[in-house]
A = this chain, B = another copy of it.
Amino acid sequence: MNKNLKRMATMQNMQKTGLELFYTKGYYNTSIDDILKELSLSKGAFYYHFSSKEDFFIEIVQNLLARKVYSLLIEPIEGHENPFELISNCFEEALETAVHNEMDFGFILGNFISEFNGRNPKIMKHLNDVLKIWEVNLVSTLQRGKFNGYIDRHTDSEAVAVFLISSFLGIRTMMVETAPSALKYRFMHQIKVYFKAIEAKKENV
C-alpha cells in the first residue's frame, strides 16, 4: 500500500475509534490502550502519529466533530426557506438519530463541554470555537428569516439562537436514559409553540 495512504488510514482509524470511545466512556475514563486494543495497534504507533492524548483529542475535535457539526447542524439551515421549518427539520433529524442511539454530534459537543468545563482550558477553547460557529450560523439563519418576513422584526436573534442551542443540549442530556422517543415528541412540539411566539405578525390581512 502507498505509504501516505497508509499513514492517513491509520490516523483516521485512530481518530474514529477514539471519538467513539471518548463519546461512550468519556475522555478521562478512556485510556489510549483501550483505543489501541480495539485497533490491534501499539503504543509506538500512537505516539508516532500524535504527540499526546490531549493533542490527539484536539485533532479529533477539529477533524471529525467540527466537520460533522457543520454538515449536520449548519448546512441544513442555510437556505432562504422558512427558517422555522429549516431549524425544526434539522433538530428533528438530529433527535431522531439520538432516539436510535446513534452518534448525534450536537450532543457529543455538549457532552464534551460538560466534561472539560473548568478542567482543561485548552480543550475547552477548541470546543467553544465549534459551539460559536454553530451559534453564529443560527443567528444568520434567524436574521435571514427576519429579512424574508418570517420572523418578527423585534426579535433578538442572538437570544433566540442561545435559547435554541441550550434547549437542544439540555433535551439531549435528558434523552439518554428516559423514553427518548416521547421526550423528542414533546420537545419538538414546544419548540414549535415557541416559534409561534416569535413569528412575524400579519397585522393587515
For A196, the chain B residues whose CB sits under 8 A away are 197
B128 touches A178 (CB 8 A): yes
CA distance A35 to B136 in the complex (A): 41
B114→A115 contact, CB < 8 A? yes
Chain B proximity of A197: nearest CB distance (Å): 4
Which chain B positions have C-beta within 8 A of A165?
170, 174
A173 touches B162 (CB 8 A): no
**Contacts A29-B119, A174-B165 given; does A111 touch B110 at CB 8 Å:** no
In the bound assembly, the distance between CA atoms of A26 and B163 in angstroms comes to 26
Answer whether residue A25 sits at the interface, using C-beta atoms and an 8 A cutoff. yes
Interface presence of A85 (CB below 8 A)? no
Q: Tell which of B24, B132, B183 touches A162, judged by Cβ atoms closer than 8 Å.
A: B183
Report how far A170 CA is from B109 CA in the complex, Å.
12
In the complex, are the beta carbons of A174 and B169 less than 8 A apart? yes
Interface size class of A (residues with CB under 8 A): 35 or more
Q: Does any Cβ of B come within 8 Å of A158's Cβ?
A: yes
**A156 part of interface (Cβ distance < 8 Å):** yes
Mask: chain A, 2-34; 1 = CB below 8 Å from B; 0 = not: 000000000000000000000011101100000
Q: How far is the CA of A165 from the CA of B177 in the complex (A)?
A: 15
Which A residues contact B (CB, under 8 angstroms)? Answer: 24-26, 28-29, 110-111, 113-115, 117-119, 124, 128, 131-132, 156, 158-160, 162-163, 165-171, 173-174, 176-178, 183, 186-187, 189-191, 193-194, 196-198
A-B contact pairs, 25 of them (CB 8 A): A24-B119, A25-B119, A26-B119, A111-B117, A113-B177, A114-B114, A114-B115, A115-B115, A117-B173, A118-B176, A124-B177, A128-B177, A128-B178, A156-B189, A160-B190, A162-B171, A162-B186, A163-B190, A165-B170, A167-B170, A169-B169, A170-B173, A193-B197, A193-B198, A194-B194
